[in-house]
Structure 1
């Protein structure tokens, strides 16, 4: 367990320190726009947010995921990694956090609108039969071969 946690930016990081870093860099309004947690919107304070996050596991996991993938900009893991809680996830040796992503309320709204449009397009494609299993001697799934393949190099997970 210790070996796995060695490369997790959340290992040993207190919730209070994480919240302070996020608020200092982003501000309460940006955090509310990105995470949609009311503790960041209605009369936000460190004490109230900490109390809420300590009591509410799903909200704490959302903040920890935001910290990992937006603030520390760690590479996205496999689906098996996403089954784990953020504090239990590990990263390959040599992967270090990058500079935080700069966010604005407008940019967050654009990303949310794009995600909604992508989701609606995916639902429409599934209703047309794309991505469903077909039988031609063996079950296969149709895939989109135009997508870029993820990097297989563990030292360069971003593929750049």
Structure 2
């Protein structure tokens, strides 16, 4: 498991919106909602609503960043 400093270095230069767009392209909303059970992914999902929630909710943002750093197809 990566520590917080390594995670920050790995995500340096990435915006939350870019991370979210990449994840949606890779997994789709349904799979993201299965992997991270948060309402903004499972009920009428959109980039805008997800960004609003994730910017206010550090634990959820950390889960999204962790998913982004996993090799695609893992998990």
TM-score w.r.t. the length of structure 2 is 0.82
Residue 20 (str. 1) matches residue 21 (str. 2): yes
The whole-number CA distance in structure 1 between the counterparts of 2:12 and 2:67 is 15
Give the match for residue 30 of structure 1: 31
**Aligned CA-pair RMSD:** 2.0
Give the helix-richer structure, 1 or 2: 2
Deviation at 1:37, TM superposition (A): 1.2
Q: Which structure 2 residue ranges, 5 or more long, are not aligned?
A: none
- Correspondence for 2:73 among 87, 96, 101: 101
TM-score w.r.t. the length of structure 1 is 0.40
Deviation at 1:28, TM superposition (A): 0.2
Structure 1 moving runs of 4+ over 3 Å: none
Q: Report 1 or 2 for greater relative contact order, CA contacts < 8 Å, sequence distance ≥ 6.
A: 2
Give the match for residue 60 of structure 2: 59
The whole-number CA distance in structure 2 between the counterparts of 1:40 and 1:14 is 18
- Highest CA radius of gyration, 1 or 2? 1
